[in-house]
Amino acid sequence: MQKKTVLVTGGAGFIGSHVSVELINAGYDLVVADDLSNCDMTNFEGLKQITGRDDIPFHQMTFCDEAATEKLFSENKIDAVIHFAAFKAVGESCAEPLKYYGNNLKSLINVLESARRHGCRNILFSSSCTVYGEPEKTPVTEQTPRQPATSPYGNTKQISEDILRDSVKAYGNIRGIALRYFNPIGAHPTALMGELPRGVPNNLVPYITQTAIGKRECLSVFGNDYPTPDGTNLRDYIDIVDLAKAHVCAVRRMIDDKMEADYEIFNVGTGKPASVLDLVNAFEKVSGEKLNWKFAPRRAGDVIAIWADPSLANEKLGWKAGRTIEDSLLAAWNWEKKLAR
List, by residue number, the catalytic residues: 153
Longest dimension (CA), the chain: 58
**CA pair distance 130, 151, nearest whole angstrom:** 9
Cα 258 to its chain centre, rounded Å, is 23
Query: Is residue 131 classed as helix, strand or coil in its secondary structure?
Result: helix
Residues 6+ apart with CB under 8 A from 272: 236, 307
The Cα-based distances of 14 to 11, 17, 34, 243, 276 in angstroms read: 8, 6, 12, 11, 21
**In degrees rounded to 5, what are phi and psi of residue 45?**
-65, -40
> Is-contact 163 105, C-beta < 8 A?
yes
Query: Is residue 308 classed as helix, strand or coil in its secondary structure?
Result: strand
| H/E segment holding residue 253 | helix 240-255
**CA pair distance 138, 9, nearest whole angstrom:** 32
| Closest-CA residue to 229 (of 134, 310, 304) | 304
User: What number of residues does the chain have?
Assistant: 341
Query: Is residue 296 classed as helix, strand or coil in its secondary structure?
Result: strand
